[in-house]
Amino acid sequence: MSLDAHQEKLSFQAEVKQLLHIVVHSLYSNKEIFLRELISNASDAIDKLRFAALSDPALYESDSDLAIRITYDTTARTITISDNGIGMSREEIVDNLGTIAKSGTREFLSQLTGDQKKDAHLIGQFGVGFYSSFIVADKVAVKSRRAGLGSEHGVLWESAGDGEYTVANIEKKDRGTEITLHLKAGDDEFLNDWRLRNVITKYSDHLNIPILMVKRTDDGKETTEWETVNRATALWSLPKSSVTAEQYKEFYKHVAHDFEDPLAWTHHKIEGGNIDYTTLLYLPTRAPFDLWQRDSSHGLKLYVQRVFIMDQVEQFLPHYLRFVRGVLDTTALPLNISREILQDHPSIAKLRSALVRHVLDLLEKIAKDDPEKYATFWKEFGNVLKEGPAEDFANRERIGKLLRFASTHTEANAQIASLDDYIARMKPSQKKIYYITAENVNAAKSSPHLEIFRKNDIEVLLLADRIDEWVVGHLPEFQGKAFQSVAKGDLQLDEIIPENAEAKKEEEKKDTEQKQEFENLLKNIREILGDKINEVRLSHRLTTSPACLVRDQNALTPQMERLLKAAGQPITEVKPILEINPEHTLVRKLHDEKDQARLNEWTNILYDQALLAEGSPIPDPAAFVNRLNKLWVELSH
C-alpha cells in the first residue's frame, strides 16, 4: 500500500517563534537541559499510556515494557530519544509542537527585554520544554504514532527552528515518539556515552521509568544489549534520608515544568493511619506568569500505587494554595478513578485536609526559621494566600498567622509585619488591631487618620493591596482581637484615655467646653455643605490636619467604594462624616470668621481637601482651584 504523505509546510505561531528565539539565545550556557526536557516529556507520555491502558489494555500492542531509549550516532552527528508512550496524532503534533495554548503568553513575552541574562531568568516562569531541543540542534525530526492508531497513522514533524516546520504522514510500526536531534556544529560533546549518562543521572535519576542506553564494552564498542542508566524508582517512594537536595530539585523541575529550583519542599509517607498516602509537595521560588489567569495550570500529579492517574488535579488543595506543585500517591483511591468520580470520592476530603496541613506546617516552619525565605514566598504568593481566610474557615487562625502587612511600625514599605508581631507590640490597654486602607502604602502613611495613632505611638497596619480589605473582612478577629479601620466610627481610643480619674474628668470637661465653643461653627458648616455630608463633628483623631472624612462603622471604606465602582458593582453610597480639628489654626480662623461669603469658601476648600487626603476624587476640581486662587490673591494683598 502506498501512503499519501500529504506533506504540509506550516508556520509556527508568533509566540512560538519568539519563545524559540529566547530559549536558544539565553539558555546556551546551560545547554544540557535539552535532554532533561525531552526525557521529562517522554516520561509524561509513558505515564499517560500506562493510565489509558488501565481501561484499554489493547493500547500496549503486545509491548508493555515501558522505557525511554537514548542513542547517538557519531557519523550522522545525531542524538535520538525515543519512548513507547502515548504518542501523538497528526493533529496533536501540530497543536503541541507548533503553538502555545496558555493564555497570557503574548503579554508575558512582551516583557522580555532582549537582555539575555534577564530573559533567561524570566523564562523560568514559563518552563522551557520541547523547544529547548533547538539549543543544541539545527534540525529536529519527530516521528510519532498515537497508541491505538494503525501503523499508517505515523507522523513526521521536521523543523530547523527558524519559523517553519513540515508535517507528513509516515508509516510507524512502534507506537510512541522518536525525536532525533541533528547537532549544531560545536556541540559534539554530547556524542559521548559518558557525557549522556552523566546528564541523565544528574537530571532524571528519580523518574520511575527506565532510561536505557546501549551497553558498551570496556573499550567503548557497542554491544547489542540495553542497560538502564537511571535508578528508575519513583523519588517520592524513597525514604527521605536517601534523597539529596539536588534530586529533590531536579524532580521538581519535572513535575512542575519549571526551569528554576523550588523554594522549599515537604515529603511525607503516611501509613497505618486512617488513610495511606505519600506526598511530595513543593513551593516554587517564583510565581508562574499565568498565576492570575483563570485557566492557569495548577494542582498535583495524582498516582495510585505508583501508576500515574492524572495531572493538575485540583481537588486536593484549596484555591488559595494553588501555587503548590508536587505529587500525591495513595492507595485510598481506585486505579480506575476518573475526574468525575474524583469530585465526590469520600477519601478526597481527608486527603485534602492532610495536604493543607502539610503545606501550612511547611509555611509556618519557613516563617519561623528563615524569615528571608518567607519574604520571598510572600512577595510571590502572598496575595494568593490572602484568599485563605475567606476560603478555608477551619484554618482561618493558622492562615492569619502567616499573613504579612506593611505597618507604621516596620521599616520601609515592605509587607513584613505579622499579626503576632502586631499583638506583641500592642499597648497594654489596646483591644483592637488598627488598619488603614489606601491606594498605596505611601498614601496610607500620610493619611490624616493616622495622626492620633502616630502621636500616641499606636501601630496601624497599612493595607494597600486590592484584596486586603476583603481579607480583614473575612478575618473579623485574630487571637480575640477585632480589626478596626482607623477611618471608621467615632474612635474614642481606649488606649489614650487617661488612667487616673482626675485627668479623665479634666479631659471630659475640655471636651464639653469645646463642643459649646464650636457649636455655631459646626452648624454653619453643616448648612454650607448641605447633603454632601452626613454629619460634622469635632475630631478625636487629628493632631496636625484641620479636617478629615470618616465613615460609619458599618459603611464601606472609600477604598472599597472606589474598587466596587470601578468593577461596575452597584453600591449604596453612604455620605461621610466631616471631622474638624478644634486645635488647628485654620479651624480657629474659621471659628472667628465673620464674613459669611468667606466662611463658605473656606469650608468648601476644607471639605475638598479632606476628599483629596483620603484619595477620593473631588467632584469639581476647577471650582476647588478657583477658590484656592481667589483666597490666595486676597491673602497676598
Tell me which residues touch Mg ion (CB under 5 A).
40-41, 129
Contact region with ligand ADP (CB under 6 A), list: 41-49, 349-357, 359-367, 509-517: 41-49
Would you say 50 or 358 has its CB closer to ligand ADP?
50
- Least CB distance from residue 460 to ligand ADP, whole Å? 45
Would you say 130 or 434 has its CB closer to ligand ADP?
130
Residue 382 interacts with, from ligand ADP, Mg ion, none (CB under 5-8 Å by kind): none
Would you say 38 or 235 has its CB closer to Mg ion?
38
Are 404 and 419 a contacting pair, CB within 8 Å? Answer: no
284 binds ligand ADP (CB under 6 A): no
Amino acid letter, residue 314: E
130 binds ligand ADP (CB under 6 A): yes
Contact region with ligand ADP (CB under 6 A), list: 36-44, 446-454, 510-518, 543-551: 36-44
User: Helices 501-529 and 596-613 sit at what angle, rounded to 10 degrees?
Assistant: 110
Closest to 61 in 3D by CA, of 176, 148, 178? 148
Q: Which residue has the cell 489654626?
A: 585
Site for ligand ADP in 306-345 (CB under 6 A): none
**Sign of the alpha-carbon torsion through 168, 174, 256, 349:** positive
Amino acid letter, residue 128: V
Would you say 284 or 448 has its CB closer to ligand ADP?
284
204 binds ligand ADP (CB under 6 A): no
Tell the burial category of 11 from Cβ atoms under 10 Å away from its Cβ (0-12, 13-18, 19+). exposed
Question: Dihedral of the CA atoms 341, 257, 38, 167 (nearest 10)?
Answer: 70
List strands edge to edge, sheet with 577-580.
535-538, 577-580, 547-550
Residue 389 interacts with, from ligand ADP, Mg ion, none (CB under 5-8 Å by kind): none
Q: How many other C-beta atoms can be found within 10 angstroms of the C-beta atom of residue 334?
A: 13
- Using DSSP bridges, classify how beta strands 325-330 and 277-284 pair: parallel, antiparallel or unpaired: antiparallel
85 binds ligand ADP (CB under 6 A): yes
Would you say 40 or 347 has its CB closer to ligand ADP?
40
> Of the candidates 16, 39, 53, 88, which one interacts with ligand ADP according to CB under 6 A?
88
- State the number of binding residues for ligand ADP (CB under 6 A): 16
Q: Which residue has the cell 458593582?
A: 569
Residue 96 interacts with, from Mg ion, ligand ADP, none (CB under 5-8 Å by kind): ligand ADP
Closest to 234 in 3D by CA, of 12, 17, 43? 43
Are 406 and 378 a contacting pair, CB within 8 Å? Answer: no
- DSSP secondary structure, 274-302, as one string: SS-EEEEEEEESS--TTTTSTT---SEEE
Q: What is the DSSP letter of 616?
A: P
> Of the candidates 105, 177, 415, 418, which one interacts with ligand ADP according to CB under 6 A?
177
CA distance 135 to 187: 10
User: Helices 585-592 and 501-529 sit at what angle, rounded to 10 degrees?
Assistant: 60
Would you say 96 or 331 has its CB closer to ligand ADP?
96
Residue 448 interacts with, from ligand ADP, Mg ion, none (CB under 5-8 Å by kind): none
129 binds ligand ADP (CB under 6 A): yes
> Of the candidates 35, 72, 79, 83, which one interacts with ligand ADP according to CB under 6 A?
83
Contact region with ligand ADP (CB under 6 A), list: 35-43, 382-390, 540-548, 607-615: 35-43
- Least CB distance from residue 118 to ligand ADP, whole Å? 22
CA distance 288 to 291: 5
Contact pattern from residue 219 through residue 258 relative to ligand ADP, giving x for each residue in contact according to CB under 6 A and a dash for the rest? --------------------------------------x-
147 binds ligand ADP (CB under 6 A): no
Q: Nearest 5 degrees, angle CA 369-CA 370-CA 371? A: 115
Would you say 45 or 235 has its CB closer to ligand ADP?
45
Would you say 96 or 201 has its CB closer to ligand ADP?
96
- Least CB distance from residue 96 to ligand ADP, whole Å? 3
User: Helices 371-385 and 346-369 sit at what angle, rounded to 10 degrees?
Assistant: 140
Residue 85 interacts with, from Mg ion, ligand ADP, none (CB under 5-8 Å by kind): ligand ADP
- DSSP secondary structure, 379-397, as one string: HHHHHHHTTHHHH-GGGHH
Q: Residue of minimal CB distance from ligand ADP?
A: 129
- Least CB distance from residue 46 to ligand ADP, whole Å? 8
226 DSSP β-pair partners: 214
Contact region with ligand ADP (CB under 6 A), list: 52-60, 123-131, 440-448, 491-499: 123-131
Are 414 and 400 a contacting pair, CB within 8 Å? Answer: no
433 binds ligand ADP (CB under 6 A): no
- Least CB distance from residue 380 to ligand ADP, whole Å? 20
Would you say 129 or 582 has its CB closer to ligand ADP?
129
Q: What is the DSSP letter of 551?
A: B
Would you say 66 or 452 has its CB closer to ligand ADP?
66
96 binds ligand ADP (CB under 6 A): yes
- Which own/partner contact pairs does 557-564 have at CB distance under 8 Å and 24+ positions apart? 557/437, 557/469, 557/485, 557/487, 557/488, 558/487, 558/614, 558/615, 558/616, 559/437, 559/438, 559/439, 559/469, 559/615, 560/437, 560/469, 562/615, 562/616, 563/466, 563/469
CA distance 266 to 360: 11
45 binds ligand ADP (CB under 6 A): yes
Contact region with ligand ADP (CB under 6 A), list: 84-92, 226-234, 239-247, 495-503: 84-92
Would you say 21 or 257 has its CB closer to ligand ADP?
257
Residue 21 interacts with, from ligand ADP, Mg ion, none (CB under 5-8 Å by kind): none
- Least CB distance from residue 258 to ligand ADP, whole Å? 9
Q: Which residue has the cell 556515552?
A: 193
> Of the candidates 42, 212, 486, 555, which one interacts with ligand ADP according to CB under 6 A?
42
Contact region with ligand ADP (CB under 6 A), list: 17-25, 39-47, 163-171, 506-514: 39-47
- Least CB distance from residue 199 to ligand ADP, whole Å? 17
| Footprint of ligand ADP (CB under 6 A) | 37, 41-42, 45, 83, 85-88, 96-97, 127, 129-130, 177, 257
